[in-house]
A and B are shown apart, each in its own frame.
Chain A
């Protein structure tokens, strides 16, 4: 008699197939929806100054700086269809940076730069919520991305 019985063999095979399917789905989604975890870039002091850079009509760089207990800039106005590179850093403790509707999810860490890219195709107000405990003012720490229709002139 073999060590593994028939139903055990079947279960191992099914498990293998299921895991294979999961991994395939991850790779497929990563490719199709351009969804990825934040990018890894080395620290650069130039990224820690809060500001918004407009590269062209629909392309922005937002240098977001988290501190106890605010994000700077706290209101980010961009036109519909914009692509935004967020560069995130922290002045003090660890903060979170979550835009639920756009699946933007990053940690802001002192001495580190986090980066992700996201497109805003729908107009509206997108809340940026701090989702890591950062001291007594944590539950006040929210900012906004305001995506508006470009003015027709």
Chain B
């Protein structure tokens, strides 16, 4: 369909800004593997410190890229599937808030005033602009939800008995989860962290951590759901088949709405002051969130099998050989399938993390980044970069630069991640800590803390890291190469979408939000009331401010 210039511009900038920043984010990913393998025995390289780089890596890749893309992809899905455009003013206000927020946070990080990592746990203090910038990115990303809700209601009035398009359902579910979970982190940032960072109040650290993880686990589903939308809506079509079941997609999405948030305490299994019972209970709820993933695994595999059979495959597994893995005109298939393969391992290791006392084995070891690079740097990252190229090329009417390279990138990345994560997870199981500049001590043969067991593990991670870096730089070349080409085709907003193999008749329960929102609220209240009660009542004194290089705190500026 044809869309307005304004919408095109918003989407292009929302895609282009994070991809540009990604150069910096990916560079710092590579640098960490070099430090950690012991090839750099220093606290900084080219005037950027290890933890400053790690903060840039996390904030750019996991917050800026994912949030900007989710908004851009949301605009595209809502417009294309509801055949109407978002409100221009709302779109631009949201865009500018996010850009200004990114600018403030980027300044604080680059100036070395906020080396607090992307989880920004107090009482390690960053510059107030870092917190303010993060808050602006989040608030900016809320605005489209309310406008999209208006578009949906308009569409619903015109189509009272049509099933809501799956991509629209996915977009709305995703942003409802995002809105609810970010309320907690907005409270943490604006009410607890900002006054604390300006020296106006001390802080209850456990409460801040609990609010962060109320947001932090749902955040991973906010990363994941755009990829899920592509798996359900686009992948079967790209494979040359049909979606096995339309209803399965709807059920999975609504289950995410219920279970994404009330599981955050499983990130705090090792924390003090939160009861074992509530930890166990939220661990159980985490298994609830595996159900939509099991449903998805089956439905997508069945859809791909159907596509393979339609392409004339034989035997039980023959369909795997018939899929269009290297079709340059159909490169989104390559990006999505490579992501799915990674996600098999990402999902399984995630179940390990959620398994209550098993967490003692791997908590905060390098197992953790090993796991989440197979989720957020797996299906999520590949879906994001593939779709960024796809959307840009379609909407600008340009041909892909280096199409053959483009279709190889996801597989190269996949191989890199598999090697990288194997190294990290193996290291984690033998105690290698995450978030640590190992090159200074543990991987420095001249240092008394040298730990030779971690040599093979960090070397594997380095090898994987180099492959990932090459793949990512090739993507940057393809993306910007495409931007600098001349428009030759018709510029349209066009997304692939699959027919359903089982197109079940409309079931009203799975076509409306209210009952699900009410259930979601009830589960959250049940799961989080005891956790928050513990976080408020068990801790003792509140903490002052500390900076990374100084054990002496900043005390309150105004004595009460």
- Decide if A96 touches B364 in the complex (CB within 8 Å): yes
Taken residue by residue from 20 to 52, chain A's Cβ proximity to chain B (1 for < 8 Å, 0 otherwise) reads as: 001101100110000111111111110000000
Does B469 reach chain A (CB closer than 8 Å)? no
| Complex: A103 Cα to B538 Cα, angstroms | 25
- Decide if B553 touches A92 in the complex (CB within 8 Å): yes
- Decide if A114 touches B272 in the complex (CB within 8 Å): yes
Q: Contact check: which of A23, A36, A103, A133 meets B287 at CB < 8 Å?
A: A23
- Decide if B537 touches A8 in the complex (CB within 8 Å): no
- Decide if B124 touches A94 in the complex (CB within 8 Å): yes
Q: Which of A3, A101, A115 counts the most B-chain CB atoms under 10 A from its CB?
A: A3
- Decide if A105 touches B543 in the complex (CB within 8 Å): no
A-B contact sample (4 more), CB < 8 A, given A93-B121, A113-B272: A40-B275, A92-B546, A135-B546, A139-B437
Chain A contact surface mostly: mixed
Q: Contact check: which of A22, A42, A132, A142 meets B364 at CB < 8 Å?
A: A132
Does A64 reach chain B (CB closer than 8 Å)? no
- Decide if B433 touches A130 in the complex (CB within 8 Å): yes
Which residues of A lie under 8 Å from residue B276 when comparing CB positions?
36-37, 39-40
Q: Contact check: which of B209, B275, B356 meets A26 at CB < 8 Å?
A: B356
Taken residue by residue from 257 to 276, chain B's Cβ proximity to chain A (1 for < 8 Å, 0 otherwise) reads as: 00000000000111111111
Which residues of B lie under 8 Å from residue A101 when comparing CB positions?
431
Taken residue by residue from 122 to 153, chain A's Cβ proximity to chain B (1 for < 8 Å, 0 otherwise) reads as: 00000101111111101110100000000000
Which residues of A lie under 8 Å from residue B364 when comparing CB positions?
96, 98, 105, 107, 131-132
| Complex: A67 Cα to B552 Cα, angstroms | 10
Q: Contact check: which of A5, A22, A44, A115 meets B502 at CB < 8 Å?
A: A5
Does B279 reach chain A (CB closer than 8 Å)? yes
Q: Contact check: which of A37, A111, A129 meets B205 at CB < 8 Å?
A: A111
Could you tell me the distance in whole angstroms from the C-beta of B428 to the nearest C-beta in chain A? 9
Could you tell me the distance in whole angstroms from the C-beta of B196 to the nearest C-beta in chain A? 12
- Decide if A43 touches B283 in the complex (CB within 8 Å): no
Could you tell me the distance in whole angstroms from the C-beta of B458 to the nearest C-beta in chain A? 13
Residue of A nearest to B436 (CB): A139
- Decide if B123 touches A110 in the complex (CB within 8 Å): yes
- Decide if A19 touches B272 in the complex (CB within 8 Å): no
Which residues of A lie under 8 Å from residue B548 when comparing CB positions?
135-136
Question: Tally of A-B residue pairs with Cβ under 8 A?
Answer: 206
Could you tell me the distance in whole angstroms from the C-beta of B163 to the nearest C-beta in chain A? 13
Q: Contact check: which of A11, A41, A111, A140 meets B449 at CB < 8 Å?
A: A140
- Decide if B538 touches A133 in the complex (CB within 8 Å): no
Chain B contact surface mostly: mixed
- Decide if A42 touches B247 in the complex (CB within 8 Å): no
Interface window among B18-26, B71-79, B290-298: B290-298
Which residues of B lie under 8 Å from residue A8 when comparing CB positions?
245, 248, 298
Which residues of A lie under 8 Å from residue B271 when comparing CB positions?
38, 107, 109, 112, 114
Does B361 reach chain A (CB closer than 8 Å)? yes
- Decide if A106 touches B121 in the complex (CB within 8 Å): no
Does A68 reach chain B (CB closer than 8 Å)? yes
- Decide if A132 touches B435 in the complex (CB within 8 Å): yes
Which residues of B lie under 8 Å from residue A54 when comparing CB positions?
none
> A residues 1-23 with Cβ under 8 Å of B?
3-5, 7-8, 11-12, 15, 18-19, 22-23
Does A84 reach chain B (CB closer than 8 Å)? no
Does A78 reach chain B (CB closer than 8 Å)? no
Does B542 reach chain A (CB closer than 8 Å)? yes
| Complex: A67 Cα to B271 Cα, angstroms | 17
> B residues 269-323 with Cβ under 8 Å of A?
269-276, 279-280, 283-284, 287, 290-291, 294-295, 298, 302
Could you tell me the distance in whole angstroms from the C-beta of A128 to the nearest C-beta in chain B? 10
- Decide if A11 touches B294 in the complex (CB within 8 Å): yes
Does A100 reach chain B (CB closer than 8 Å)? yes
Could you tell me the distance in whole angstroms from the C-beta of B71 to the nearest C-beta in chain A? 30
Contacts known (A35-B360, A42-B537, A93-B546); A3 close to B287, Cβ less than 8 A? no
- Decide if A29 touches B441 in the complex (CB within 8 Å): no
Does B438 reach chain A (CB closer than 8 Å)? yes
Does B493 reach chain A (CB closer than 8 Å)? no
Q: Contact check: which of B360, B534, B541 meets A103 at CB < 8 Å?
A: B360
Q: Which of A5, A19, A91, A132 counts the most B-chain CB atoms under 10 A from its CB?
A: A132
Does B515 reach chain A (CB closer than 8 Å)? no
| Complex: A105 Cα to B356 Cα, angstroms | 12
